[in-house]
Amino acid sequence: MSNRHLSKKFLAALGFALILGVPVITTPASAQSSPAAEPADPNLWLEDIDGPRAMEWVRRENERSLPVLENDRRYPALLQSALQVAQNRDRLPLGGIRHGYLYNFWQDEDHVRGIWRRATIASYATGNPEWQTLLDVDALATTEHANWVWEGADCDPSGARCMISLSNGGLDAATRREFDVASRSFVADGFVIPEAKSRMAWLDRDTLLVATNWGEGSLTPSGYPFIVKRWRRGTPLSSAQELVRGNQTDVATTPFTIDDTDGAHHSFVVHGVTFFENTYQVLTPSGLRELTLPRKSTIHGLYRGRLIVTLKQEWRIGGKTYQNGELIAIPLAAATSATPAIEEIFTPNARQSIEAVGITRDAVLVGGFDNVRGRLQRFALSGNRWSGTQIALPQTGVINVVSADAGDSHAFVTYEDFLTPQTLYSLDNEAAAPRSIRALTAQFNASPYVVEQFETASRDGTRVPYFVVHRRDMQLNGQNPTLLYAYGGFQLSQTPSYSGYIGRLWLDQGGVYVLANIRGGGEFGPAWHDAGLKTHRQVIYDDFYAVEQDLVNRRITSPRRLGISGRSNGGLLMGVMLNQHPEMVHAAVVGSPLIDMLRYDQLLAGASWVGEYGSPSVPAERAFLEQISPYQNLRRRDDFPLVFIYTSTKDDRVHPGHARKYAARLEELGMPFLYYENTEGGHQATANLREAGRRRALEYMYLVQRLMD
C-alpha cells in the first residue's frame, strides 16, 4: 500500500529472492540453447512446461504417487487437520497503513480467492475492526470467468486510486488494473498494464512510472524489464516516454516511490546490477541523479528528510569506515554529493541482525535478532542526535513489524514463537509503548512441548545454532521421529515461528521438529549470508551435516528416524545433502527445488541468481557447480531414501523442469520416489487455501510413513 519496509518492497520489485519470479517464457525451455560442452540431457523435454508429452508424464506420476499417500487410513485425519489450519478464521488480519486506514487481504473457506478490505486505524487498534470490503476476488473471477489470484495493490499518493495486480492461477506475471477506492470499482478507461512481470510506481495521480515487457529486446537475461517509461493518463501505453534505460546485462531496472514523514512524495529508480548489487537514482526537477551509496545497501524509507539505509558491505567514505550490517541515515538533500553527511543509527554485533525496519511519523523501528531471538528497538532523532531504546516485548521468539507508515504515528507488531501463537500489539504513544490487542487461539496444545536451542561446530569450527521442539518427556534413545528444516540462502533468516501445521500434523503425531540456522541466511547479518556465496557454498552444506550429526550424537534421533525438508533454495539444499550424505536420513521432502545447477541460469529467473550461486559460464564457478549440482551428481546408492518431490506447473520462478528431471533421473537409476505436481499455484504450489492444506497433508503423510512406521 505504501512504502513501508522498503527492503521487502525492493526484493519484491526486483525478484531479489528465490521466492520471487519473472515473466513466463513462452518459448518451450526445451528449445533453449545449452552450452556446447554440456552433454546431451535426455530429460530436456521435461522443461517444456505445458508440452503434451511433459504434461502426460506429470499426470502419470501424480496418478502413481498420490494413492500411496492418500489411500493411507491416516490421511483423511491429517487432511482434515491441515484444512482446519489453512481455513482457520482465527488469524490476525495483518496489512499496511495508508491515510488513516489499515488495508488487509483476507482468505477463508467462504472467500477462497480472497477479499481486499480496510478498517480505520482507530477501529483496528481495538482488536475488533469494522471492515469495509473493497474487492471480492472470488466474485470478480466468477464474473470474468477468470482464474484470478490476488497479487497486491499499489496506490497513488492520495490513496484514492490503486493499481490492482491479479495473476492467472498464481503466476508471478500479473495484469495490473486501476481501481477507484471510493466507488469500489475498476476505473473505466483507466490505467491497465497487460500481463507481464511489470513494476510500476505512481509519480502523481495521472502519471505512472512503468517497467514492463516493451517488446523484443526490452528484457534482461533474467527476464526482467530494464526500461522505465513515464505514462500519462489518457494516452496508450505504447506512447509512454522513456525515462531511463538500464543495462540489458543487469538483472532489472525498477521504479519506486517513498513518502517522507512530512508527506512529501519522492520517486526513485533502482538498477539491479547483480542479484545483490544495486545503484539508485532519485528523480529531481532537473532529472535523475545517482545517490551516493555502496552497491550492497538497502533503502528502507525516509524519516524527516533522511534516507534510512542498511549497509550490506563495509563502506569507507569521507575518511570513515561504516560496518557491514549497520543502519545509517543520509539527508536526501545531500545524498547525491560525493561525500554526503552520514548519521549512524545502530551497529549490530557479530551475533545480531537487522531483520526489518519500519518508519513512523515519530520514529524508526528496528526489528532483529540477538542469537536468533527477537528484539525490537525504537530510534528517534532529537536535533542531529539519534537515540534508541528497546521496546518491552518478549524476546524468545520473533518480533515482526507488520504495519508502519511515515505518515502515521501508529505502528503494529506481532510476537510469536514455536509454541506461542501470534499476538498483535499496537505501539502507542508515538510507537513507543506496546499494548496487546489480540492473541490468536492456539491451534494445538503446547503444554506437552518445550523448545531448546543448541549449537554445534561446523567443519571449519563455526558455531551453528539450531532449535529443537519436542515433548517434555522425550527419551534420548535415538528413536524419536525428527524433521529437520533449513533454507541456507539469499540472506533469508529462519525464525522461531508458530505453525499449526507443524503442531498438529507433526508434533501431535509424536514427532520432533528442528530448525537449523545455517549459513546463507541472515540470522547474524550480511556476513552470515556472504560466507556461503558462490564457490564458498559448501560451508552451508557442512553446517547442515553438522546439525544432522549433532542430533544423532545427542541421541535425539538416528538416521532411521531423521527426515529433512526444504523448498526452493532449500530444495537445492535437499538435493545436495541427499547426494553427499544420504546415509544420514530416511526421508526427504524436496519442494519446488533447484536441481540442475548447470542449466539453472537458462531457466526462468535463474540468470538473476548468479550472484548467489555463481555462473555456469564462469569456469571456476562452473567447476564448483559441477561438484554440487544434484542432477549431475545423482548416483544409485542403496542407502538413498525414498524422497517426496513436489512442484507446480505454474511456477514461473523456479522452473518445474528441475523437479521433473530429478524424478526422471531417479527413475532411470531405478531408485523409488514420490512425485506431486500441482497444475496451478505458482511458486508456493498452492493456488488457494484448500490446496495449501492438501499439500501439507501430503508432506506429513509421507513423513509419518517414512519416520514413524
Instruction: Encode pLDDT of 161-210 as tens digits.
Output: 999 999 998 777 899 999 999 999 999 999 999 999 999 999 999 999 99
Determine the average pLDDT of the residues in 10-38.
35
Q: Same domain for 58 and 99?
A: no
Q: Quote the pLDDT of residue 33.
A: 37
Angstrom distance (rounded) from CA 349 to CA 381:
22
Residue 366 has pLDDT above 50, yes or no: yes
Assess contact for 412 and 399: CB atoms under 8 A: no
Q: Same domain for 425 and 486?
A: no
Catalytically annotated residue among 2, 426, 568, 592: 568
Q: Look up 222 and say whether it is catalytic.
A: no
Percent of the chain with pLDDT over 90: 88
Q: Quote the pLDDT of residue 38.
A: 56
Lookup: cell for 672: 523409488
Q: Which residues pair with 699 in a beta bridge?
A: none
Residue 611 has pLDDT above 70, yes or no: yes
Q: Answer whether residue 546 is part of any domain.
A: yes
Q: Quote the pLDDT of residue 296.
A: 96
Give the other-Cβ count within 10 Å of 438's Cβ: 18
Please identify, among 418, 439, 460, the residue that sits at the C-terminal boundary of a domain.
439
Q: Quote the pLDDT of residue 682.
A: 53
Q: Quote the pLDDT of residue 684.
A: 52
Q: Same domain for 420 and 456?
A: no
Assess contact for 112 and 138: CB atoms under 8 A: yes
Q: Look up 568 and say whether it is catalytic.
A: yes
Range of the domain at 319: 6-16+89-439
Percent of the chain with pLDDT over 70: 93
Q: Which residues pair with 387 in a beta bridge?
A: 380
Residue 1 has pLDDT above 70, yes or no: no
Residue 3 has pLDDT above 70, yes or no: no
Which distant-in-sequence residues (6+ apart) come within 8 Å of 67 by Cβ?
A: none
Which distant-in-sequence residues (6+ apart) come within 8 Å of 110 by Cβ?
A: none
Instruction: Encode pLDDT of 97-113 as tens digits.
Output: 999 999 999 998 899 89
Q: Answer whether residue 393 is part of any domain.
A: yes
Q: Answer whether residue 21 is part of any domain.
A: no
Q: Which residues pair with 329 in a beta bridge?
A: 308, 343
Q: Answer whether residue 342 is part of any domain.
A: yes
Taking Cα atoms as reference points, which of 150, 152, 95 lies closest to residue 124? 95
Q: Same domain for 435 and 447?
A: no
Residue 247 has pLDDT above 50, yes or no: yes
Q: Quote the pLDDT of residue 89.
A: 83
Residue 7 has pLDDT above 60, yes or no: no
Instruction: Encode pLDDT of 276-300 as tens digits.
Output: 999 999 999 999 999 999 999 999 9
Q: Same domain for 289 and 196?
A: yes
Angstrom distance (rounded) from CA 157 to CA 205:
7
Lowest-pLDDT range of 123-137, 440-454, 645-659:
645-659
Q: Quote the pLDDT of residue 172.
A: 77
Q: Same domain for 409 and 503?
A: no
Residue 36 has pLDDT above 60, yes or no: no
CATH code for position 618? 3.40.50.1820
Q: Quote the pLDDT of residue 555.
A: 98
Residue 654 has pLDDT above 50, yes or no: yes
Residue 6 has pLDDT above 80, yes or no: no
Q: In a 3-state reduction of DSSP, which class is residue 366? A: strand
Q: Answer whether residue 255 is part of any domain.
A: yes
Q: Answer whether residue 61 is part of any domain.
A: yes
Q: Quote the pLDDT of residue 439.
A: 96
Q: Which helix or strand (DSSP H or E) is residue 576 part of?
A: helix 569-580
**What is the pLDDT confidence band of residue 22, given thresholds at 50, 70 and 90?**
very low
Q: Quote the pLDDT of residue 275.
A: 85
Residue 667 has pLDDT above 50, yes or no: yes
Q: Answer whether residue 626 is part of any domain.
A: yes
Identify the burial level of 10 via C-beta atoms within 10 angstroms of its C-beta, where 0-12 means exposed, 13-18 middle and 19 or more buried: buried
Angstrom distance (rounded) from CA 210 to CA 514:
44
Assess contact for 476 and 598: CB atoms under 8 A: no
Q: How many domains does the chain have?
A: 2
Angstrom distance (rounded) from CA 646 to CA 18:
16
CATH code for position 424? 2.130.10.120
Residue 634 has pLDDT above 60, yes or no: yes
Angstrom distance (rounded) from CA 624 to CA 606:
17
Determine the average pLDDT of the residues in 331-341.
96
Please identify, among 404, 421, 439, the residue that sits at the C-terminal boundary of a domain.
439
Instruction: Encode pLDDT of 508-560 as tens digits.
Output: 999 999 999 999 999 999 999 999 999 999 999 999 999 999 999 999 999 99
Please identify, among 439, 461, 490, the residue that sits at the C-terminal boundary of a domain.
439
Average pLDDT, the chain: 92
Angstrom distance (rounded) from CA 327 to CA 344:
7
Q: Answer whether residue 28 is part of any domain.
A: no
Determine the average pLDDT of the residues in 379-396.
93
Determine the average pLDDT of the residues in 148-160.
96
Q: Same domain for 46 and 11?
A: no
Backbone angles phi, psi at 426, to 5 degrees: -95, 130
Q: Same domain for 495 and 434?
A: no
Q: Same domain for 405 and 525?
A: no
Q: Quote the pLDDT of residue 384.
A: 83
Residue 20 has pLDDT above 70, yes or no: no
Q: Same domain for 193 and 294?
A: yes
**What is the pLDDT confidence band of residue 25, given thresholds at 50, 70 and 90?**
very low
Q: Same domain for 529 and 505?
A: yes
Q: Same domain for 375 and 503?
A: no
